[in-house]
Structure 1
Amino acid sequence: MQCYKALQPISVFSFDLDDTLYNNQPVIAVAEAAMLQSLLQHAPITQRCDSEFWWQQRRILAKAKPDIRHDIGRWRLLGIEAGLIELGLTSCEAGEIAELAYDAFWQARTTISIAPDVTQLLTELAKQYQLIAITNGNACIKKMGLGDLFAFSLQAGPDGRMKPYPDLFLTAAARLNVKPETILHIGDSHRADVLGALKAGCQAAWLDHYQQPVAVLPHIRLNHLQQLQYFVVTEAI
């Protein structure tokens, strides 16, 4: 762990989810496969359409409606619907099948196993601090089995613009009735997590998986999540 700035007293630990508490890449791969399988089942015309096709549909949609990016779930749903219409389905058919395909994606996307050592770390931190989650994604802390440890989870889209906009951090501070500077946000993305937290006046801990150079420093840089054990205060015997 490297410290770049003096830490202020902390009352809240805020966690990003994807690629912070778990490896998100295999989760998304399984979810994409579930989406494609559902599309094939309900719309055989999609047989030759791979994930790249559906990504291009989302890109086209985002060019027309840039703000849709702030809600990645709705963005994906509407992208599926747009792609089905392009393939020749009626708007009604496309809407119904898109809902089924997105549900298949979401069910797989929110089936996430948290490593026991991560759960133990969070359990120890929750005894001394309030824990919250702030994510640009749509993972579900309750489905992960972490619901009892976190006060709440805020998600880009339903709860505000995505990080690095300060919306979600400021909403969290207001809901907890704390000053932003008492929140330490931990995340793997320098742009979303570090810059977002700093813009909102929060403290930032960067989980740097790849040892990247940066221009704007966080308060601390972590090599692995377990370094947060530093903040677990044990009682003297």
Structure 2
Amino acid sequence: MIKAISFDADDTLWDFEKVMRHALGCALTEFHRLSPAAADRLTIEKMVAIRQRVGEELRGKVVNLEEVRLAAFKETLRHVGAPDDGLAVHLNAIYLKHRYDDMKFFDDTLPTLNALQGRYVLGLLSNGNSYPERCGLGGMFQFVVFAQDYGIEKPDPRLFEIAVSQSGCGKDEFLHVGDSLQSDVVGARRAGVRSVWLNRERRQNDMGILPDFEIVTLTALADICERFE
């Protein structure tokens, strides 16, 4: 019997890439207002590339993703010849505001969570930093496990074991749902819990990583859980 369900966050419950680029665009607009000549040398693609590079450089050194994002803004300003740590803090705040305030859930997210709430212990298990109270999901989850709080990332099975422990259920009563074969499915298998691969784009699985279940919409979760009743 399934008693607890953990969800990945980014690209499972919402489109992270879309809201991230939107928030960067808002920060770039503010930068252009304050320093148009320097801002003209930037694009969102350049900002994304700098964030990726900074993230790799800080991997294993800094685990707080907001600190990584701030470091990326500082590097971005240096990149365009306008170093200013105070401005970086300001732009980071603009980014974070829109990153959370303007987040849009996938159409099946809230109906699914509302249907499952009360019937199962629900939780978040994420390598990101989208804490539910900042995303309009306060009170929805009974447990929350974020990689940055533990200094390890999925697919490390220890994160899944922490989630199982926080759920108060056994591994055989636990189900994890996520969009990544490598992070979500591999991690769940290593921890000995069932996995559901959310394959919204109907991608071909040529990685040899087999989930227990594959779905294209979250609304299919209820049927999976009912199979174990």
TM-score of Structure 1 vs Structure 2, range by shorter chain: 0.7 to 0.9
Q: Is residue 86 of structure 2 the alignment partner of residue 80 of structure 1?
A: no
Q: Which residue of 1 aligns with 2:119?
A: 128
The one of 1, 13, 38 equivalent to 1:21 is 13
Secondary structure at the counterpart of residue 84 of structure 1: helix
Q: Which residue of 2 aligns with 1:212?
A: 204
8 Å contact kept, 1:13–1:130: yes
1:160–1:54: structure 2 CA closer, same or farther, 3 Å change rule?
Answer: same
In the alignment, is the contact (CA less than 8 A) between 1:61 and 1:79 conserved in 2? yes
Counterpart check, 1:32 vs 2:24: yes
Contact 2:108 2:218 in 1 (8 A): no
Question: Is the 2:42–2:80 contact (alpha carbons within 8 Å) kept by the matching residues of 1?
Answer: no
Counterpart residue number, 1:5: none
Residue 174 of structure 1: how far off its partner (Å): 2.7
Alignment correspondent of 2:184? 193
How far 1:229 sits from its partner (Å)? 2.3
1:40-91, Cα deviation, whole Å (9 max, x unpaired): 334442331112322333344345333258544322221111222344445x
After superposition, give the CA deviation of every residue in 1:111-145 in whole Å (9 maximum; x if it has no partner): 32336653232122122110001122222322443
Instruction: Point out where structure 2 has 5 or more consecutive residues left out of the alignment.
Output: none
Which residue number corresponds to residue 215 of structure 2? 222
- Structure 1 residues 58 and 29: alpha-carbon distance in aligned structure 2, compared to 1, 3 A threshold: closer
Cα deviation, residue 207, structure 1: 0.7
Asked if structure 1 preserves the Cα contact closer than 8 Å seen for 2:2 and 2:225, the reply is no
**Could you tell me which amino acid in structure 2 is paired with residue 224 of structure 1?**
T
Aligned position for 1:57: 50
TM-score (norm 1): 0.80
- The answer to whether residue 94 in structure 2 is matched with residue 101 in structure 1 is no
Look up the SS of the partner of 2:208 in the other structure. Answer: coil
| Equivalent position amino acid for 1:36 in 2 | L
Cα root mean square deviation, aligned: 2.5
Bigger shift: 27-36 or 111-120?
111-120
Q: Distance in 2 between matches of 1:43 and 1:173?
A: 49
Aligned residue pairs total 222
Q: 1:182 aligns with which of 173, 187, 197?
A: 173
Q: Which amino acid aligns with 2:75?
A: A
TM-score, scaled relative to structure 2: 0.83
Letter in 2 for 1:216: I
How far apart are 1:226 and its partner, in Å?
Answer: 0.8
Within 1, Cα distance between the matches of 2:51 and 2:62?
9
**Where does residue 129 of structure 2 map in the other structure?**
138
Alignment identity in percent? 27
Which stretches of structure 1, 4 residues or longer, exceed 6 Å deviation after superposition?
Answer: none
CA contact (8 A) 1:198 1:204 kept: yes
Specify the alignment match of 2:162 in structure 1. 171
Distance 1:50 1:69, change over 3 A: farther
- Does 2:205 align with 1:203? no
